[in-house]
Amino acid sequence: MAVTDRGNIRRLRMALLKGVALCAFAIAPQTFSYAQTPALVPEAADGAKMLLRSNELTYNKDAQKVTATGGVQIYYNRYRMVAQRVEYDQATGRVMANGDIELIDPDGNRVYAEQLDVTDDFGEGFVNALRVETPDNTRLAGESAERLPGDLMVLHNGVYTACLPCVAKPGKAPLWQVKAQRVIQNGQKKTIRLENARFELFGMPIGYLPFIEVPDHTVERKSGFLFPRMSMDDKLGFGLTVPYYHVFSPSMDATLSPTYYTRQGLLLEGEVRNRFETGSHILRFGWIDQKDSAAFDAGTVDRNNDERFMVASEGRFEINPRWTFGWKAMAQTDRNFSNTYDLEGVNNDVFTNEVYLRGLGERNYFDLSAYYFDIQDLTNLSDLERKQAIVYPSLDYQFIAPEPIYGGELSVNMNLTNISRRKSDYWQEALGTLPRFRGLEGSYSRFTTEAEWKRTFTTDGGLLLTPLAALRGDLGRHTASSPTYYDYLNPGGVAYNGDFEDSGAASRYMATLGLEARYPILMTTATSSHVIEPIAQLFLRPDEQKAGGLPNEDAQSMVFDASNLFERDKFSGYDRIEGGTRANVGIRYTGNFDSGIGLRGLFGQSYHLSGENSYASPDLVNAGAYSGLESDTSDYVAMAAVDLPQGLTFAAQGRFDDSDFDLQRTDASVSFARPRFSASMIYTQIEPQPDYAAVKSGEYLQSSASVRVNENWSVAGTATWDLKDEEVIRRALGFTYADECTIFTLAYNDEPNSTTASDWAITARLTFRTLGDIEIGNTDLDDTN
């Protein structure tokens, strides 16, 4: 007979506050119930208590059952569960739950079901119509599931996906899912195993695997096979790569990527990664014994040696927060092995071997580096690599005094260059033009130190005066002789007619006194502000010593425009020095409007006042030729830009002939940037510079754009045109789809007028979150890369 006694509720609540277990009560009636009451069930072996809360709780002492109904909440040993009805059988230790069940385990996984039968420690049990959501939004579902010893959960006829359900159509199949006969979640190994798995894309089956095993959301790294990759090449054949990833320790892992090519055989490629307390190291290697070397063009490989090998090392270590030491090096049996087989991390046209020590402080910088450039050319032209400079080493150091010196700023720059070449590198654009010697056979060393002091004074009238003093000294030595060049008209060779000094030691200095005057004028209106700033500079110094008589390795590029009008030395490197007395004069404008419109502009000219004009002094590369600075009165330079609040920017700069104002160089651009659309267009026009390796004028247009079509789809493209020759130099187009579980990218790029075999490429990549990537590389049948 069931009796309800509400008189004992007060005693029950008092007992609960004292932490007394519910089963220990000596209550006269066989059954009681009450509303909105929490209760504690018996302690487990590990001392954990189960807290149960519901709208109504009924305890049947004779049957040893506790039944909770209405908004049931259970917390036990970091497990949390809600349900409409829960029955706990003390005799069997089972918990039966029904209706809108949500169970959250200690790892954060959410289990949804309509019926649940588990042990009181949630260690074993059975579930009908199960659905699991992990903290990283991975979803599992099954017709039924079992909770087994060993922290195992087995789902029967299960589904696995990392995609969110469609909000508009919850019953619609996700973008991708894996259906399996059994899904086994192993809490000890931290894995999810899918047996007899069928992969579905857009609800359509596209592949079958006997099993797939992936790490669960608690694992950052897990040993196992990665998604295979495919490629196609006419010289290599069809390639299939099946990478294997292995974790040795928390600080060491490796990837072995064997690839079988139908035409060349098995390629073994691998990467071993180590993390240390202060840095990391990567070891890469590749090996193949080719089956068909005759497939490659003559001269691109050694057809007498089918075995090809590569090993590379890369390391980076932080000695302390300011100092970093590192290196990158590669060795291979022939020049283009890594490029031919597209080996990861070393497949550049030019691989830079380097070792460096770098330091960065608040007001100083140190960089000591050595370089060796490995030319991975598709032809067996050893001269190309012999012409490259070997740098051992190069030093750059910059220091800015932390405290003012005589009220001004003192800075020191140092540079050490020590290089060698095994063969001279010269270039002649056309017959009858002067050659450019980009490097000479032999060794070249130079040490440069330069100190500069400057201070800005402001007069009562608002004039800004900045006096400047600089002193520089160079010590150098080279073993090169006066170079000789060859052309079809002079097969016997023609000696360089410049004033080049033969091998030996050399020194030079440069002392500079300068003054800069700026007078910013501020004008304001009700809706805008404008600053007009006249600027004038004067630099007094002697002539450049040994102009054109020494090698020029780092000052070969010379572009005079508005950006360097007010530079004290307009050469791009240390091997040339601007000498003679020179004045730079110009006016700068900046305007801002309340509507968000911004205006910028600059116009000016440079004047060589006395001494030898460094830009008119020839050197091995004719750096100053056609620069606009080689005459006493330079070309005019100008810049103008408009910034609109809508994200649109117009900018243009040009160099105009000082006599007839003809355009010598034009750079113009327009860009637009918004969250869903961005685009830019750059136009460049250059007049002929015969002695500077350009016998004809150039006119180029480069454009790029990206559009985010909707939340998932985006399109991007770029193209470069040679407007003079009316041809496309290069172009590319890419499509990307991205959502919470999938990223798909398809890209095409080509160089229509390229003379090389690798003139176009198609690449595709499909990434499934939690599963891996599928990559399809270059499908160009004429491309060996």
pLDDT in tens, 157-185: 989 999 888 777 777 888 899 999 999 98
Tokens 């810049």 locate to: 639
Beta-bridge mates of residue 762: 748
Residue 452: the pLDDT is 97
Across 151-165, 173-187, 217-231, least confident range: 217-231
Task: Specify whether the CB–CB gap between 728 and 718 falls below 8 A.
Answer: no
C-alpha torsion sign, points 458, 461, 462, 465: negative
Residue 146: the pLDDT is 82
- 71's tokens: 């908004």
pLDDT bin (cut points 50, 70, 90) of residue 397 is very high
Residue 109: the pLDDT is 82
| Average pLDDT, integer, range 259-288 | 95
More confident residue, 773 or 545: 545
Query: In Å, how far from its chain's centre is CA 462?
Result: 46
Angle at 599 (CA atoms; ends 598, 602), nearest 5 degrees:
150
Beta-bridge mates of residue 634: none
Residue 511: the pLDDT is 97
Termini Cα distance of the chain = 86
State yes or no: pLDDT of 60 exceeds 80. Answer: yes
CA distances from 8 to 3, 186, 544 (A): 12, 46, 107
State yes or no: pLDDT of 781 exceeds 80. Answer: no
How high is the mean pLDDT of the chain? 83
Using DSSP bridges, classify how beta strands 677-686 and 698-708 pair: parallel, antiparallel or unpaired.
Answer: antiparallel
Task: Specify whether the CB–CB gap between 253 and 234 falls below 8 A.
Answer: no
Cβ neighbours of 197 (radius 10 Å): 21
Across 231-235, 559-563, 578-582, least confident range: 231-235
Residue 437: the pLDDT is 79
Q: d(Cα 70, Cα 615) in Å, to the nearest integer?
A: 91
- Give the H or E element holding residue 104: strand 94-104
| Average pLDDT, integer, range 719-744 | 91
| 727: nearest Cα among 706, 747, 698, 705 | 698
CA distances from 659 to 317, 450, 558, 635, 687 (A): 57, 36, 21, 8, 16
pLDDT bin (cut points 50, 70, 90) of residue 5 is very low
Within 8 A by CB and 6+ apart from 419, the residues are 389, 390, 391, 392, 394, 443, 444, 445, 553
More confident residue, 365 or 759: 365
Within 8 A by CB and 6+ apart from 533, the residues are 518, 519, 520, 521, 587, 588, 589, 590
Cβ neighbours of 204 (radius 10 Å): 8
Task: Specify whether the CB–CB gap between 575 and 627 falls below 8 A.
Answer: no
More confident residue, 20 or 227: 227
Residue 11: the pLDDT is 34
Residue 29: the pLDDT is 31
Residue 374: the pLDDT is 83
Using DSSP bridges, classify how beta strands 152-161 and 464-478 pair: parallel, antiparallel or unpaired.
Answer: unpaired
3-state secondary structure (DSSP) of residue 113: strand
Using DSSP bridges, classify how beta strands 425-427 and 442-454 pair: parallel, antiparallel or unpaired.
Answer: unpaired
Task: Specify whether the CB–CB gap between 694 and 683 falls below 8 A.
Answer: no
Q: d(Cα 568, Cα 47) in Å, to the nearest integer?
A: 79
Residue 432: the pLDDT is 58
| Average pLDDT, integer, range 251-275 | 94
For the stretch 134-147, pLDDT in tens is 888 888 888 888 87
Residue 480: the pLDDT is 78
| Average pLDDT, integer, range 546-558 | 87
Residue 233: the pLDDT is 78
3-state secondary structure (DSSP) of residue 385: helix
More confident residue, 97 or 502: 97
For the stretch 686-714, pLDDT in tens is 888 776 666 678 899 999 999 999 989 99
Per cent of the chain over pLDDT 90 is 45
3-state secondary structure (DSSP) of residue 28: coil
Give the CA diameter of the chain.
124
| 600: nearest Cα among 590, 610, 609 | 590
State yes or no: pLDDT of 756 exceeds 60. Answer: no
For the stretch 26-36, pLDDT in tens is 223 333 344 44
Across 48-52, 88-92, 540-544, 681-685, least confident range: 48-52
Q: Read off the DSSP letter of residue 344.
A: T
pLDDT bin (cut points 50, 70, 90) of residue 649 is very high
Per cent of the chain over pLDDT 70 is 85
Residue 704: the pLDDT is 95
